[in-house]
A = this chain, B = another copy of it.
Amino acid sequence: MRTLCTSLPTLAPGSPVTLEGWVHRRRELAKVTFLVVRDRSGLAQVVLPAGSVVPPEETTVRVTGTATANAQAPGGVEVTDAVVESLTEPAETPPAELWRPHLDVQLPTLLDHAPVLWRHPAQRARWELAAASLRGFRASLDAHGFTEVTTPKFVESATESGANVFAVDYFGRPAYLAQSPQFYKQQLVGVFERVYEVGPVFRAEPHDTVRHLAEYRSLDVELGFIRDHRDVLAVLREVLAGMVAGIGEHAAAAVERTGARVPEVPTEIPVIHFADALALVGAPADEPDLAPEHERALGAWALEEHGSDFLAVEGYPMAKRPFYTHPQPDDPRWSNSFDLLFRGLELVTGGQRLHRPGDYDAAIRARGEDPADYAAYLQAFRHGMPPHGGFAIGLERWVARLVEATNVREVTLFPRDLHRLTP
């Protein structure tokens, strides 16, 4: 019967114990040899006679011995009278010393050796924040009557996906990889009212930036029978609170290990209109978008004015939003959509969508396109759709902000970009 490393202190001194894990560190002193074993729970110390032959770091081992109290050992208990059995060949020397408190490598090294370097406890903890966030995301939506759905990643037309789309040879004809589940999650509001999906989205992003990947995880939500985008924002607030709660519940140790700054989600996320946001940052009133420095300034303002790490900017100009965006009823230059800034960086885009088939026909014609090319999508609308809206959160961006990683690749298990397809 295996004991996890962090459960060692729960054993009565003198108990027989079997650990299984990786050789985290060997320390050969004059009078004694220490072996630190790492498993999914953490670390444990094994004491061996001086001069013992122990396998090199990262070799997987089974250690049998006796649980013995020692105030100096992690958790106050170590393993003595130990027999160490290797479970595989001696491991090759890792590209960095994983037992050091900090993983001190350059980004290309981290990415080239991802399968090994993600083992570093502080690096692994970054993903534990992601996994805990996913649990919180789903728990909050499950509790509010949402249904998890899956939508196809193969789509028929590039129109459906817009620019920067990947083409696939689909049984001899062209198909494309979905850039978002947008069209499908809307159609499924017609079925389930409230849906979410966690899945990969694909962007043939030709730019080499610290924020973009060719493939990332989108946390998509869509819901029907809303009044306007403020109802969507209220759900987003619940979801973010759920993600933060998930981290608190399932990844407290990872927070400590990464030094993550986990935000408080205010009861109500402060909202500013796009026009007011431009004025606030001193930008010309006819700017169609917020520049990164504007977003940073707004983030600082939200913190100072509202004590909030989050700020929703609503009313983005219709001209800059996708055709399915619902206009602001009292002034159709603006939209019922929003971006959510988290510490001055865009984290979420969302809003209300059109729901009347006539509005879709008009919006598509206004782009110089033919509604017939959108027949499959528009089917749902012709057969009755409620007022609805939703949002999408980029998982990697969320985690990057939590741990203040400058590059989203640092928190992605196996990133894919313009240059990288492996490992």
Contact = CB atoms under 8 A, between A and B. Distances in A.
Contact of A155 (B20, B41, B421): B421
Interface in A53-78: 58-60
Given A116-B190, A151-B414, A356-B88, A206 B383 contact: no
Interface in A99-158: 113, 115-116, 118-119, 124, 127-128, 131, 134-135, 138, 142, 145, 147-156
Contacts of A415: 152
A167 interface: yes
A199 B197 CA distance: 10
Contacts of A224: 60
B423 A379 contact: yes
Given A124-B191, A135-B148, A413-B188, A88 B385 contact: yes
A115 B128 CA distance: 36
Contacts of A124: 191-192
Nearest to A396: B150
A380 interface: yes
Given A60-B386, A88-B355, A147 B175 contact: no
A88 B215 contact: no
Contact of A384 (B20, B59, B217): B59
A89 interface: yes
Contacts of A422: 155-156, 376
Contacts of A214: 154, 170-171
Contacts of A398: none
Nearest to A98: B383
A87 B383 contact: no
Interface in A29-85: 39-41, 58-60
A305 B45 CA distance: 49
Contact of A91 (B21, B115, B155, B382): B382
A196 B376 CA distance: 34
B131 A149 contact: yes
Contacts of A177: 168
B206 A171 contact: yes
A184 interface: yes
Given A154-B421, A217-B150, A421-B175, A22 B115 contact: no
7 contacts: A23-B384, A118-B188, A119-B191, A127-B192, A135-B138, A156-B421, A167-B169
Given A150-B395, A175-B421, 10 more contacts: A60-B355, A60-B384, A88-B385, A88-B386, A89-B356, A119-B191, A131-B148, A156-B421, A166-B169, A377-B423
